[in-house]
Structure 1
Amino acid sequence: MIGLDGVHTAGFPQAVLDGEQRIAADTALSTRTAIDTEASTVRRTADAYQGTSTSAPANALTALASVRKAVLGSALLDRRTGKLLAAGGKTVPLAGVDVARTASGHGAIPPRLVTSGGTRQLLYFAKVTLPAQDDPDQDQAPSRPARQWLLVLCEALPAPTAYGDGRTAEVLDARGTALATTIHGTASPAAADRSLPAAAARAAHGAGSDTDASGGLLGAATGSRRTVAGWAQVASATGPGDTDDLGLVVLTSRAVPATTTASDYSRFALDAAGALAGVGLLLGLALYLSVQRPLLRLYLSAGRLARGVTGGAPTAWAELSRPVPVHSFGELARIGRALDSLRRQLLGESGPQEFPARRGPGYRALAVAGVVMVACWSVPMIFLLNRADTATAVPAPVLADQQTRTEIATNRIRQSLDQSYTDLSDAAASLAGRSRAAQSEVLRKSLADHKQYRSLYLLDRSGDITLRVGDAPLRTLVHVPRGGGITTVNTSGRIPAIAAYAQVRAGKGKAPAAGTVLFGEIDVKVLNSILSRPKLGSVWVTDRDEKVLAASVGYRAFQSLPDSDLTRLARTTQGAPGTAGTATSAVQLTSSGPSVDAAAPLAQSGPTAGLGWHVVTAEPAAALRIPALQAEQRTMLAGILALAVSAACLGWLHVVVIRPLRAVAVLVERLAGGDRRTVLHPVNHDEIGSVTRSLELVRQTLAERDRTARSGHVAGPSRSLRVNTLQR
């Protein structure tokens, strides 16, 4: 109930600020991926360059830089001396770059952020090594060392992609200066809070420079709207990365309407806690009056009987002459009546007494009544009070954030598939005019360089595999497509097979060979790892028939989406025939509560054109910090805990008190009915065990008297009691 007291609404739900923070983190991840991919591509291009010992630097630079469309300027330097050997495009800002020191390491050289013409740009580095140059005047091995160059490419900082109407996405440097800005739609005046970049830079600096930390910020308010911002560092959290030393921060912001109605659950929490305390006091008082106090009186009475049968005549008369108080309810009443009957038998006033088999309600009924008392408090808490309205509980900004994050996830999948196709196209181009052994070597190197592929193979015009490297293909569809793109190569099986394909030319400058296609089956685990993001919920990639191809959670290949509402939501993104479709979102009611769902289509251009695939997400609304849902959860939790704790405590009472009392009641009634042979063993080391020990002494005394009576003699303790009585 203390936790429920902390739920309140002030301005807008915390889920809105959390959503903006995660959007910033997703955007930073996309920016980091773009920079890492470009850096890796530049290095692979340099490694794949097939220069000779006589290659001119200018020709080499043209071959290395011409394939990169985003290059603003390029330079080729001598790694030992730093001398500029060739340059192209705009002047590369190399001031402050120690070439010899930069290229001295054995690992990859990370990109650097530099200033050129008043703008901030990125420098990408790659080492180029050419074969040693032979000396024509000597017949020995090469006399001159291999030429070692440093390729430097200058490119613009990738602009972040902004999703959601009115959202602004910025890339900041360590000082909070905006390096690239993107606005989706029209930004609200409230979102133009220029204090946010500096605040985001300070927060990122406090979190450290080599983490992917993120956070949320509140900006200025304009009228009924207030700016909500999120920041995230463009750095890797899994180890050293290319973006760790850049100090870049992504800031996203959007003006959202403030909540007009405020909710405070402190009064409800206080009233509910007081009611529960009252129920507990009543139940405790009932247990004290009906169980504890009568049990203590019975404990004292049993002790008196034990002293009466073990002491002398005066003591016996004093202890046995006092009646045993009999409680009016439960097992203690049965034990009290039987114990008083034993007292009279010890005095010789009566013989064995039979007790009725049918008895009234016992203490088990009291325990059940106690649970019912607490249930009267718990059941309304679980099922009735603070129930959130599914239709209005999830604020519109939270629903929009889920759709935005789904679009970002779709863009990541699209970028991954596009990059897989680009890499495969480069490998297909390098196969032109080569021998089978050389092609096999190229495919092995491509498989080693591109971890997203599980298998690479060539198909001839009949669909037969003529060359393969990697794992056994999963394909079951035998077809030789034209052109290039992304496709699926099976429709059933344990693992979905998604593949990129490209045509292979017969030779350099020639048309593609008829029916010769390079396929690269993409490891579905790569796509699954891209989909998993914090607080995005379950994510699925489906084909045009809404069959699952990849997911962030466990799934069966080609299964339908787990809910029919998700299937309908995915179909609404298709739009009119031939269009790209639009993302959509909705709050769906499931068996476990409301769910915030969204779906977005892949683009209808590029390698994924015409696939008709979708990305579908579903996040339980209970996982979001929405006050109405938090109040419902904590109210239900309080009711469940109260019911569980009361059942556990009363169950413990049944085990340690009620059940032993029932066993003792049965034994003492048998003893009072004439059973002198059943030995009473004390099991518990408490008042009930002490009563059992006293009853065992009484049983032994009665058994001895019965044996004496059967032998024709009068029992000692009973005769003494009668003589004393006559004398008195």
Structure 2
Amino acid sequence: MSLIGGIRPPIAVLSALLLSLAGITALTFGKTENVLVPKAVLTSQQHFAEDGAVALRASLDESVTDLDRTAILFSEGKPVSADAVLDKTGSVYQKWSGTAVIEIKSGKLLAARGETVPLTVIDRTKLSGKDGLKPRLVRLQNGQTRLIALALLSWKGQPQQLLIASSNLKVPGMRLSESRGIGVVDSTGTILSSDGALDSERAQRELKDFATISAKKSRQNPISSKEPGSGGYAGVSGSLTGDASGDRRTVGGYASLAASEPGESTVASGLGLSIVTQVGVTERASQLARPAFGLAAAGALLVIGALAIAVLLGTVQRPLIRLFLESRRLTRGDLARPVTVPRFGEAARIGGALERLRQQLHEESPEGADGASGTDGASGARGGRRLGTRALVAVSAVLLLTWSVPLTLLLNRPSSSVHIPAQVVADQKARTETISDRVRRALNEGHADLSAVAALIGNRTSADDMTAVLDRTIEEHPRYESVYVVSGDGEVLARAGHEPHHSSGERPADQPLKVSGHGGKKPVIRATAPLQGKAGAAVVGEFDIDFVNALLRRDGLGQVRVVDAKGRTIAGNSGYLAFEKMPGHLSPLVDRKQAHAKVQRGDDVRIAAAAPMTGGGVAKVLDWSVVSWQPASRLDIPAYTLQNRTVLVGLLGLTAAAACLGWLHIVVVRPLRALADQAEALADGDRRTVLFPRHHDEVGAVVRSLELIRQQLQGQQRGRDGARSLAGRN
């Protein structure tokens, strides 16, 4: 018999799978597991640390890039004094702790602004090398650490100068609660910068412990540190669990600074820094398993599975094996004993046909050739047509479905009063605020870059010269879709990038940031920077909406939208329609003064948060808010974990039943139906159709026996015809 064919393998595999599933059910639900800190809380800390790493990496990279770009813009213009360079730089960008300009050859300090820049760490003899202008971390005397960025100022006929800027390592835009602390850690585990609730000795000690663990884990390869297929953050990240004090336990997260795309590298990601966070949460015992339910479900599966297997064995397997044995007996010439005819389905039809063939071989019935024997076997076959083998297999399927379907669709469903950890709600709010600040900073940076471009173009009158500056700007700034210069009367003087959404005669906007495109497929966000010395003229940059959308894509926040003052969608992290109204259930959350978060209960439990752009800068005029929401069922908390396990067990039952019964239908039921038709045709007198077995199994064996019987009947027919011919001659 074939290993994968025949009646026995599908039923045996189904029996083994049902026994295994019963054991899985008992173990999954039968072991009591008290959860003090839900995994959703730990995962939320990991995502919080990732947000901090993304914010710091973007801030440091932007600072270094802006300093390089500023130096290039000044170097391409007419020579200016060091004081003018720092004054202009400070008016456009307010991001550096301190700036300075020195003469490279003599080392003379030409100008300085802000805090004192540590000039002694700069080796002026090595600035021309490959790593001479590479940013570096410097430890100040007060224990704080700064990132020092360098850029060359070079004019023809004048000594080269060095533009220096220092940036602190404070994570920008992070909203810290009263019990949360955050730190920036280097590759050795040293805390370079910290902020938040770190007043107590215990909090400082635990942050140091977390920092040591974070530094060690961050040295892993980002790919090997994650589970296969997990995706997510491009760097190394995870959650941490600290000591408990009473009913409070410290938990945290860590994340290494990494580029936005795996495999890439930036200035900040090459510094070996990581972010570590900590927060105190209240432990609350939640029972994840239900032993009585698990044992009852496993017992029910054993009973139902036994009934299903009994149906298959008693009505499908045994009759087919009996037919196989009876057909073999007939081919050996044992015709004295009548064929035992099964009671149901195609097996009854085949059994009736075999009995008629036995009578024809034994020549008991003169009517055998035309199929009018009228025996009990034949009548049993005709009566058996009412209930086929497919119906018998369907009965087994229904039995198994009565166990699997309730588990998949009905049981262990959390009610609308399910407990959602308060820390998860607080983190949803804080992370939404962080994204709101990130979008605000990106828009402010974009306008600042345009202001720097406008300062350079102000001295140029040639369209080719202006276009050259715009081409370099669009190449260096992926945030823009198009950049162009507009005169006071609305004429485009020069442009770079895509075709701008600018109508002829449309004058530059008075506001630094403006949104248009209402009714179109996508919003048009314009930043406008006036050109000095050219009345009414301005440099206009149109933001790429995909750039804004990318700022919103963070794991663990669900749906994220940027909405305007009227609740219309401007950007989102997933599919949306431009300017569509925000869902009604989120409208009460939006407050233009402060951030909100709440658990919305109803048919579906949701966590929702909203945060307005309340910081400074030109983006404030937009009056935008960031809104996020996600269903609570996505959270890894005990109630939904139990539901997921229940659904999984039910799906495993459905899969086992579908696979094994489908296998049985393909290799047994369908060939058996065809065999029944062939057997009845042979019993009715069809001696010409040759019968070929398709599979080497029980059905195939019966087909081979029928072919031998057909050949014997042909031999008998030829003998009778020969005898009649001889009698006619005599």
Q: TM-score range by the shorter chain?
A: 0.7 to 0.9
Q: 1:712/1:56 Cα in 2 relative to 1: closer, same or farther (>3 Å)?
A: closer
Match of 2:227 in 1: none
- Give secondary structure in 2 for the equivalent of 1:535: coil
- Give secondary structure in 1 for the equivalent of 2:442: helix
AA aligned opposite 2:597: T
Match of 1:613 in 2: 624
Q: 1:480/1:303 Cα in 2 relative to 1: closer, same or farther (>3 Å)?
A: same
Match of 1:401 in 2: 427
* C-alpha contact (below 8 Å) 2:440/2:615 kept by paired residues: no
Q: Structure 2: how far apart are the matches of 1:160 and 1:623? A: 29
AA aligned opposite 2:564: D
> In the alignment, is residue 572 of structure 1 matched against residue 572 of structure 2?
no
Q: Structure 2: how far apart are the matches of 1:16 and 1:598? A: 17
Q: Structure 2: how far apart are the matches of 1:549 and 1:450? A: 21
Q: 1:349/1:170 Cα in 2 relative to 1: closer, same or farther (>3 Å)?
A: closer
Q: Structure 1: how far apart are the matches of 2:37 and 2:70? A: 50
Q: Structure 1: how far apart are the matches of 2:140 and 2:109? A: 22
What residue ranges of structure 2 are gaps of 5+ in the alignment?
1-23, 223-234
> In the alignment, is residue 552 of structure 1 matched against residue 552 of structure 2?
no
Q: Deviations over 1:381-413 (max 9, x none)?
A: 012221122442533322222222222111111
> In the alignment, is residue 495 of structure 1 matched against residue 522 of structure 2?
yes
Cα displacement (A) at 1:559: 4.0
Q: 1:198/1:128 Cα in 2 relative to 1: closer, same or farther (>3 Å)?
A: farther
Among 590, 599, 602, which residue is 1:586 paired with?
599
Q: 1:547/1:196 Cα in 2 relative to 1: closer, same or farther (>3 Å)?
A: same
> In the alignment, is residue 224 of structure 1 matched against residue 224 of structure 2?
no
Q: 1:502/1:586 Cα in 2 relative to 1: closer, same or farther (>3 Å)?
A: farther
Q: 1:52/1:258 Cα in 2 relative to 1: closer, same or farther (>3 Å)?
A: closer
- TM-score calculated relative to the size of structure 1: 0.83
Q: Structure 2: how far apart are the matches of 1:198 and 1:94? A: 34
AA aligned opposite 1:544: A
Q: Structure 1: how far apart are the matches of 2:270 and 2:710? A: 89
Match of 2:362 in 1: 347
Q: Structure 2: how far apart are the matches of 1:481 and 1:547? A: 24
Q: Structure 1: how far apart are the matches of 2:78 and 2:573? A: 50
> In the alignment, is residue 333 of structure 1 matched against residue 348 of structure 2?
yes
Q: Structure 2: how far apart are the matches of 1:632 and 1:645? A: 20
AA aligned opposite 2:537: T
Q: Structure 2: how far apart are the matches of 1:245 and 1:653? A: 59
* C-alpha contact (below 8 Å) 2:691/2:706 kept by paired residues: yes
If asked which structure has higher relative contact order (CA below 8 Å, sep 6+), I would say: 2
What residue ranges of structure 1 are gaps of 5+ in the alignment?
134-146, 309-318, 508-512, 717-728
Q: Structure 2: how far apart are the matches of 1:239 and 1:390? A: 44
- Give secondary structure in 2 for the equivalent of 1:652: helix
Once the two structures are superposed, the pairs formed by residues 166-565 of structure 1 within 5 Å of their partners are 166-174=178-186, 176-183=189-196, 192=203, 194-208=205-219, 212-236=235-259, 238-265=263-290, 268-308=293-333, 319-350=334-365, 351-352=367-368, 353=373, 355=378, 359-432=385-458, 434-437=460-463, 438-475=465-502, 480=507, 483-506=510-533, 513=535, 515-560=536-581, 564=583
> In the alignment, is residue 39 of structure 1 matched against residue 39 of structure 2?
no
> In the alignment, is residue 123 of structure 1 matched against residue 148 of structure 2?
yes
Q: Deviations over 1:515-556 (max 9, x none)?
A: 433321011121122221223333222333443332222344
AA aligned opposite 2:361: L
The alignment's C-alpha RMSD in Å is 3.5
Cα displacement (A) at 1:214: 2.0
Q: Structure 2: how far apart are the matches of 1:417 and 1:339? A: 86
- TM-score calculated relative to the size of structure 2: 0.83
When structure 1 is superposed on structure 2, of 657-666 and 202-211 the one drifting more is 202-211
Q: 1:559/1:348 Cα in 2 relative to 1: closer, same or farther (>3 Å)?
A: same
Match of 1:132 in 2: 157
Cα displacement (A) at 1:500: 0.7
* C-alpha contact (below 8 Å) 2:126/2:132 kept by paired residues: no
Q: 1:170/1:477 Cα in 2 relative to 1: closer, same or farther (>3 Å)?
A: farther
* C-alpha contact (below 8 Å) 1:484/1:502 kept by paired residues: no
Q: 1:71/1:414 Cα in 2 relative to 1: closer, same or farther (>3 Å)?
A: closer
AA aligned opposite 1:469: A
> In the alignment, is residue 112 of structure 1 matched against residue 128 of structure 2?
no
When structure 1 is superposed on structure 2, of 602-611 and 474-483 the one drifting more is 474-483
Q: Structure 1: how far apart are the matches of 2:330 and 2:219? A: 79
Number of equivalenced pairs: 674
Q: Deviations over 1:363-388 (max 9, x none)?
A: 21110111111111101101222112
Q: Deviations over 1:327-381 (max 9, x none)?
A: 2333222322321232223222213226465633122111011111111110110
AA aligned opposite 1:394: I
Q: 1:124/1:267 Cα in 2 relative to 1: closer, same or farther (>3 Å)?
A: farther
Among 107, 124, 128, which residue is 1:99 paired with?
124
* C-alpha contact (below 8 Å) 2:612/2:624 kept by paired residues: yes
Match of 1:25 in 2: 50
Q: Structure 2: how far apart are the matches of 1:324 and 1:53? A: 111
> In the alignment, is residue 655 of structure 1 matched against residue 666 of structure 2?
yes
AA aligned opposite 1:152: I
* C-alpha contact (below 8 Å) 1:190/1:226 kept by paired residues: no
* C-alpha contact (below 8 Å) 1:160/1:169 kept by paired residues: no
When structure 1 is superposed on structure 2, of 663-672 and 377-386 the one drifting more is 663-672
Among 73, 77, 91, which residue is 1:48 paired with?
73
Cα displacement (A) at 1:8: 4.2
* C-alpha contact (below 8 Å) 1:489/1:497 kept by paired residues: yes
Cα displacement (A) at 1:275: 3.5
Cα displacement (A) at 1:238: 4.7
AA aligned opposite 1:448: E
Q: Structure 2: how far apart are the matches of 1:542 and 1:20? A: 26
Greater Rg by CA: 1
Q: 1:82/1:402 Cα in 2 relative to 1: closer, same or farther (>3 Å)?
A: farther
AA aligned opposite 1:409: I
Q: Structure 1: how far apart are the matches of 2:170 and 2:200? A: 25
Q: Structure 2: how far apart are the matches of 1:276 and 1:327? A: 29
Give percent identity, aligned residues only.
35
Q: 1:91/1:641 Cα in 2 relative to 1: closer, same or farther (>3 Å)?
A: closer
* C-alpha contact (below 8 Å) 1:168/1:253 kept by paired residues: yes
